[in-house]
Amino acid sequence: MPRTPRPKKAVAKPRAAAPAKAWAGRFREPTDPAVEAFSTSIATDLAMARHDIRGSVAHVRGLRRAGLLTAKEAAAIERGLGRVLREIETNRFEVRPQDEDVHMAVERRLTEIVGPVGGKVHTGRSRNDQVATDLRLWLRDEIDATVSDLHDLVRALLGRARSDLGVVLPGYTHLQRAQPVLLSHHWLAHVEMLLRDADRLADARRRANVMPLGSGALAGAGFPIDRERVARDLGFDGVSRNSLDAVSDRDFVAEFLAAASILAMHLSRLGEEIVLWSSQEFGFVVLPDAFATGSSMMPQKKNPDVAELVRGKTGRVYGALVSILTTLKGLPLAYNRDLQEDKPPLFDAARQVRASLQVLARMMPRLEPAAATMRAAAGGLSLATELADFLVERGLPFRQAHEVVGRVVRECVDRGRDLESMTVADLASFSPLLDHRALAHLTIESALARRSSTGGTSRAGVERRLRELEAAHGRGRAAGRRRR
């Protein structure tokens, strides 16, 4: 009995063909699947989708002004790009297996929406100048966001400095107690570091804000596109002046990562101090419970994991810088596929830096300084320099004064005494210049007040600098549990 043939399934006709693969036309066979899997970058560079669309819109307008697109074609492509953007922003954008990178994914979807005219979007550009433009647009936004997060931490530190003005701690050199300083002075030292970081990032942004679009693959665009007008539309300060350099330049990536590495180093130093100060050996600060962790075995533990992770993530940022420098060091002009490897370390480093800034900005206002413990550690032998300065004021050369006070310190160490416990008779036995007036120098208050030169730790000087910083950056949040 003959079989009844099954009805054929209806096959929907595609609205338009997808963009041709890179091998189409030139090659006799398609790319091996292993090569496609090895070379795809879509999972990474999809982060630049919004920037790719923004660059494409500006490029389409440039094509329209050059007479390479009709008004109707340009409008259709812009509408299609707008729809792709909405799909991306609402997480409805679908990546297909044939999408090699974000540029091909966007163009493929655009062509599905608007038809063959979507293929005209790539007129006069290459993926070489396209990705360089997208990456600069992305980095420009990322620098702005990083600087904003940085200023949040600055304000948190200013809040700490304002609330901790009366707290004294020992300043350290070689991790040995050196001289007493105000805790606020210490917090402001970290602010100064961060402000230098902000300047470095702003400088890196300025050099990144140059448009490579219109450089083509390496020799420049073959059409009369007004690059300066396109650059203004995209907010660039100017256009690149050499097409070979423009498509192969990643200095701006390396420069950002260098600035980010220095910033991460500064955050790591702050994290290291929090780790030390929250230990029982120091006991200078109490961590908020919400920013500490316990032990899976030891019930008594309260670990400074946030500060440790900030310290640890610094290595990842350094690694990103070394990675890009290593990638770039052996590349001939112009574009080479090695440059695809610029984005994974860049994106990761930017994430780690911003995450560290954000968590520290939330944690710092909730630290609780142990003011009494800090003050007790700030006196004692840390006042030795005050005694030497007193002898200098009496006319003794500093080297001799240093030797005299060194013998006083040795006596204190041998007998288990502090400098504050020394009597006039005790001091006079080392030098007749050490009379009763020397005792007035052997106080923490005197030591702080005498450091009144610009940049010193006197309360008046610290308050003056704090007011300047608050005026420039805003007052920070009130710090400490006692102010919540």
Backbone angles phi, psi at 55, to 5 degrees: -65, -40
Measured between alpha carbons, how far is residue 66 from residues 74, 81, 239, 407 in Å? 12, 20, 17, 85
Is 248 a residue of the active site?
Answer: no
- DSSP character for 264? H
- DSSP character for 182? E
Give the DSSP H or E segment for 90: none
Tell me the β-bridge partners of 179.
171
Among 39, 279, 295, 421, the one annotated catalytic: 295
Backbone angles phi, psi at 264, to 5 degrees: -60, -35
Measured between alpha carbons, how far is residue 283 from residues 122, 268, 368, 426 in Å? 63, 20, 11, 33
The CA distance from 354 to 145, in Å, is 8
* Token duo for residue 194: 């961060």
* Token duo for residue 76: 């259709």
Judged on CB neighbours under 10 Å (0-12, 13-18, 19+), 139 is buried
- 3-class SS letters over 359-393: HHHHHHHHCEECHHHHHHHHCHHHHHHHHHHHHHH
Angle at 399 (CA atoms; ends 178, 379), nearest 5 degrees: 25
Is 295 a residue of the active site?
Answer: yes
The CA distance from 394 to 392, in Å, is 5
Active site residues: 174, 295
